[in-house]
């Protein structure tokens, strides 16, 4: 997702307290911004690491201290997103089921990302879709998120960690928004999908608070 330095308060990143950490975050952001700009201008494969580092006015070593591999420059907010996703399940209000929490999360984040920067976002999506390296990387990210989510679901629901139901719910919860984006009315699609899921689910696991 393109990040324009100013992002709404949709998660656990509102408090970079120390002067140090703020500077660090700033550097990181400068790198990510420069990278994304160059990538969108000229294509992922046409822009080298050294050039990005130059554009952000840091050394390549510094760049790699912030982003472990080139692809990570594009999926900057990856870990933040994952953290928010897991938090949405872990810290859901009392009495709300896990699927309901997931639906809620899917809806809010979809609104947030799709809102202000629809043009940028389309360009970004296109970049990823047309660059094989990025497609692969995104796919693996997706799998990692699904796995992490499955573990959290297992913890929260009290099911066995390797219960297929957890994996299935996780997969579904991540797949639904993906599928919905090709729909004419994404929000409606998400709601429907999750409604269906919840009923199937409640038969399986009634043990969540």
Binding flag, residue 27, DNA (CB under 7 A): yes
Residue 150 CB neighbour total at 10 angstroms = 23
* Stretch of residues binding DNA (CB under 7 A), selected from 20-28, 105-113, 159-167, 180-188: 20-28
Among 69, 116, 122, 129, binds DNA (CB under 7 A): 69
Alpha carbon separation from 139 to 128, 143, 197 (Å, rounded): 11, 6, 23
Q: Which does 136 bind (CB under 5 to 8 A by kind): DNA, a second copy, none?
A: a second copy
> Of these partners, DNA, a second copy, none, which one is at the site of residue 183 (CB under 5 to 8 Å by kind)?
none
- Binding DNA by CB under 7 A: which of 6, 9, 15, 18? 18
Q: Is there a contact between 100 and 153 (Cβ–Cβ < 8 Å)?
A: no
Which residue number, 19 or 199, has a Cβ lying nearer to DNA? 19
Judged by CB under 7 A, does residue 66 bind DNA?
yes
Which one among 32, 34, 36, 47 touches DNA, defined by CB under 7 A? 47
What does 103 bind: DNA, a second copy, none (CB cut-off 5 to 8 Å by kind)? none
Residue ranges binding a second copy (CB under 8 A): 136, 139-140, 143
Residue from 10, 29, 60, 108 binding DNA (CB under 7 A): 60
């Amino acid at each position: 997702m393109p990040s324009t330095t100013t992002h709404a308060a949709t998660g656990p990143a509102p408090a970079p307290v120390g002067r140090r950490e703020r500077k660090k975050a700033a550097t990181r952001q400068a790198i990510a911004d420069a990278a994304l700009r160059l990538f969108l201008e000229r294509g992922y494969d046409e822009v080298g690491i050294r050039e990005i580092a130059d554009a952000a006015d840091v050394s390549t070593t510094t760049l790699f201290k912030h982003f472990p591999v080139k692809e990570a420059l594009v999926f900057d907010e990856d870990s933040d997103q994952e953290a928010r996703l897991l938090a949405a399940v872990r810290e859901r209000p009392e009495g709300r089921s896990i699927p309901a929490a997931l639906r809620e999360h899917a809806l809010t984040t979809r609104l947030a990302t799709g809102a202000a920067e629809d043009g940028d976002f389309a360009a970004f999506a296109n970049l990823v879709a047309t660059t094989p390296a990025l497609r692969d990387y995104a796919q693996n990210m997706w799998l990692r998120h699904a796995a992490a989510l499955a573990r959290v679901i297992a913890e929260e629901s009290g099911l066995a960690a390797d219960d297929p139901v957890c994996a299935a719910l996780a997969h579904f919860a991540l797949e639904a928004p993906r599928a919905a984006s090709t729909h004419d009315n994404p929000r409606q699609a998400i709601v429907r999908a999750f409604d269906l899921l919840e009923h199937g689910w409640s038969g399986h696991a009634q043990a969540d608070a």
